[in-house]
Every structure is written in C-alpha cells, then in structure tokens.
C-alpha cells in the first residue's frame, strides 16, 4: 500500500511540484524558527549563577578631569553607600555589569590549550555577596590577596573545563603577560551575565585593588538592597551621593529592569519570525486543503469504482490521508537533507542537540499539519456513495 502511494505521488510529481516546494520551504523556515526557539529555551532553563533581584547598578560619571579628586570622592561614595541601613552589600565593578550592553574579553592560554576567548570582569571583594555567587572550589577574594605576587582570579566552571579539563584548577598559574601570571584562587558554578537567553561563556573575575591602581576610576557600583526597598530610598541615596560628587552625573537602574530590556531583544525576533512562520504554515495548510478538495472532485469516478468493487469507506479515507502524508514526505526528505548539514558542519557553534530537536519537531509539525488538513476532505471522499459517483460519470 505504501509503495503504491509513493508510486502514485511520484507519477504526479509535476502537478504536485508547487505543493512539495511549499512544504519544503515551510519546513526550512519552521526548522530555523524552532532552532532559535530551542536554543533560547535551553539557555533559559539553565541557572544564571547569581541572584539579580534587589540589586541596583549605580553609574557615576565625573565631569572633572582631576583623578585625585575623583578617587577621593569615590571612596567617600563607597563609605556612604555601605553605611545606609537599606544596603546589604556594595561592590565596584567594571562596565560589563550583568545584563548590560558592555562586554570585556581576553584571550587565555594554558599549556597546549591556546587562545580561549574569555569574558573579563573587574570586581571588588564584596561582589560575591552582592551577586550571591556559588563558589564550588577554593575561595573568593579577600585582603590576603594584597600580598600575592600574581594577579588573583576566580574563574567559572566553563573556563576551568576549557583550560584544565578534569584537573584541579585552584593554584594554577595562567600567563597574563610577559612578566605577570594569573593565579586561580576559586571556581564559581555557572555565570551567565549577558542574558538569561544567552549561552554560558568562559569567564574570569579579576580583583579590584584600589591601592594598586591609584590612577584608575571605576564608575559602576553594584548595590544589594534589602527586599522592599523602593523609589524613596533611591531618591535619597542619589541626593546624598550628588552632594559628595558635586560635578558628577549619577544614574541608578535595577538589574531586573536591565534583564527585561535584554530579554526583549531576544523575544522580539522570535515573535516576528514566529508570525512569518505561522503565515507560511497557514498558506501551506490552505494549499493542501484546496488540492485535496480538487482531487476528490476530479476522482469521483475512481472512488465510486473502488467502492463498487468492495473497498470500504475506511480504505478510501486512509488512501487520501496516505497520499497527503507521502506528498509531505517528498518535501521533508529534501528539507531534511539541507537541515542535517547544520549539526554536521557545526553552524553558528550551536550544540547539535538543538538542531536535532528542531529537525524532529519540524517533521512532526509538518506531518501533523498535513494530516489535519486531509482529515475533512478524506472523510468527504469516504462518504461518497458508489451509485452516485458512477451515475455522474
């Protein structure tokens, strides 16, 4: 039966070419959209590695070029912020705070592992308490690192796996430049600071030592406030900080709001592509429905003859369902040939599982769509009375 259906559709390939082409392009669009959705959903379900709730980002922009004056005012600002009863912890950070649109990276090598691109975060000692990081190996920064001959760093689990594999990471020296090395003092679990929909990248945390960098000004401050702290405290804090840095521009934003802004950049393209894909699927569905209806009206004699020879209505019904599924198979085979190249060639450096999930889901959706479109016309065909069909002929 199946062989007969394939032969039947193949013999009519010219008349069914446009429909097969529609299914092919519909499959490719659906595969692309589902790959994007699968990639983002898989990332979304993974831990961020930190807690962003009740964390504020204070951005300070001095208008003065006096480095000494700005550093003195910065130290006063830090002391004042930490003295507020509403503040739990506060730490300076580089401009690439979580969910920001800034990025800093560096290339690291260790032994035979060369040029691992790594996100670089400059942070103060209290950063782990502000972001509530989970240290799985070693420790976080503390004042004893002031006496270190190397630059202490904390790395995330992904960087550890890329550089050291299954080896112990704590205590390892990583070349920083020709004269200085990094020394790993700790390892965090996950850390995905770019977006909740972004994949995790290798990351390292470099310790901010204000005493060793007297000429540098860090203008980002992360503050963990107590739950329920609102706008009233924000206004009071900004007012008092402005009285310390009289020529500064001070802005406050919550990491939750920054997270939402970053999420919109991911959700908007997915929604737009989903609408395009939905419109294309609707067109394919209408085309399938119309072709089936047309075929039934042209094949009344054939249907009536088969019924007169003893074919049951179920056999007629499943024949038309089978024809549409075979028609879809021709389009899917061609589409699957192109789709399978993505995991084989590692396009966009995305995990192969993402492509295979999207591939199988797309095939399932196309088959379901064709079966649904064929349901009513096939019932109509199965209900044709043989005497009426032969009488029309």
Model confidence pLDDT, tens digit, residues 183-214: 999 999 999 999 999 999 999 999 999 888 77
The answer to whether residues 202 and 289 belong to one domain is no
Give domain status of residue 105, yes or no: yes
The answer to whether residues 111 and 80 belong to one domain is yes
Picking from 218, 246, 274, the residue at the C-terminal end of a domain is 246
Closest by Cα among 172, 217, 194, 180 to 49: 194
Give domain status of residue 52, yes or no: no
The answer to whether residues 377 and 353 belong to one domain is yes
Would you state the pLDDT for residue 6? 57
The helix or strand, by DSSP H or E, that contains position 90, with its residue range, turns out to be strand 87-93
Domain ranges, residue 338: 2-45+261-392
Confidence of residue 390 (pLDDT cuts 50, 70, 90): very low
Give domain status of residue 58, yes or no: no
The answer to whether residues 202 and 103 belong to one domain is yes
The answer to whether residues 265 and 242 belong to one domain is no
How many whole angstroms from its chain centre is CA 189? 19
The answer to whether residues 331 and 193 belong to one domain is no
Half-sphere exposure of 12 (CA within 13 A, CB side): 16
The answer to whether residues 129 and 242 belong to one domain is yes
Give domain status of residue 350, yes or no: yes
Give domain status of residue 57, yes or no: no
Picking from 246, 273, 291, the residue at the C-terminal end of a domain is 246
Separation of first and last alpha carbons in the chain: 26
Helices and strands: H and E segment counts in the chain: 12, 11
Range from 11-25, 68-82, 94-108, 323-337 that averages highest in pLDDT: 94-108
pLDDT digits 0-9 by tens, 314-373: 676 777 777 788 888 888 989 999 999 999 888 788 889 999 999 999 999 999 998 888
Give domain status of residue 307, yes or no: yes
Give domain status of residue 252, yes or no: no
The answer to whether residues 152 and 126 belong to one domain is yes
Give domain status of residue 155, yes or no: yes
- The region, left, alpha or beta by phi > 0 then psi within -120 to 50, assigned to residue 99 is left
The answer to whether residues 306 and 355 belong to one domain is yes
The SS3 of residue 235 is: helix
The answer to whether residues 103 and 180 belong to one domain is yes
Picking from 186, 217, 246, the residue at the C-terminal end of a domain is 246
The answer to whether residues 78 and 200 belong to one domain is yes
How many domains does one find in the chain? 2
- Output the average pLDDT for the chain: 86
Confidence of residue 310 (pLDDT cuts 50, 70, 90): low
The answer to whether residues 326 and 198 belong to one domain is no
């Amino acid at each position: 039966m199946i062989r007969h259906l394939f032969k039947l559709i193949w013999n009519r390939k010219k008349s069914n070419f446009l429909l097969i082409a529609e299914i092919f392009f519909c499959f490719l669009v659906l595969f692309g959209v589902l790959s994007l959705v699968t990639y983002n959903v898989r990332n979304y379900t993974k831990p961020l590695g930190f807690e962003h709730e009740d964390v504020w980002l204070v951005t300070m922009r001095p208008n003065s070029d006096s480095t000494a004056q700005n550093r003195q005012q910065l130290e006063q600002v830090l002391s004042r912020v930490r003295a507020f009863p509403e503040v739990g912890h506060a730490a300076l950070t580089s401009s690439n705070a979580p969910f920001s649109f800034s990025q800093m990276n560096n290339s690291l090598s260790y032994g035979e592992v060369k040029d691992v691109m790594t996100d670089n975060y400059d942070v103060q000692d209290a950063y782990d308490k502000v972001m509530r990081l989970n240290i799985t190996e070693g420790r976080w920064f503390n004042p004893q690192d002031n006496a270190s001959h190397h630059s202490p760093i904390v790395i995330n689990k992904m960087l550890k796996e890329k550089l050291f594999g299954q080896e112990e990471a704590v205590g390892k020296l990583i070349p920083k430049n020709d004269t200085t090395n990094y020394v790993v003092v700790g390892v965090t679990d996950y850390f995905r600071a770019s977006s909740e929909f972004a994949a995790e990248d290798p990351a390292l945390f470099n310790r901010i030592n204000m005493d060793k960098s007297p000429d540098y000004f860090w203008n980002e401050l992360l503050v963990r406030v107590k739950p329920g702290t609102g706008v009233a405290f924000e206004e009071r804090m900004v007012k008092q900080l402005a009285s310390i840095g009289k020529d500064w521009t001070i802005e406050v934003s919550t990491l939750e709001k920054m997270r939402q802004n970053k999420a919109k950049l991911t959700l908007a393209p997915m929604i737009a592509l989903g609408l395009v894909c939905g419109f294309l699927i609707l067109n394919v569905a209408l085309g399938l429905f119309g072709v089936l209806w047309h075929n039934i009206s042209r094949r009344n004699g054939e249907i009536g003859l088969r019924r007169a020879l003893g074919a049951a209505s179920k056999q007629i019904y499943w024949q038309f369902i089978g024809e549409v599924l075979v028609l879809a198979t021709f389009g899917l085979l061609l589409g699957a040939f192109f789709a399978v190249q993505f995991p084989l060639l590692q396009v966009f450096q995305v995990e192969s599982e993402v492509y295979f999930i999207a591939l199988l889901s797309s095939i399932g959706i196309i088959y379901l769509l064709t079966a649904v479109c064929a349901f009513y016309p096939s019932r109509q065909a199965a209900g044709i009375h043989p005497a009426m069909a032969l009488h029309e002929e």
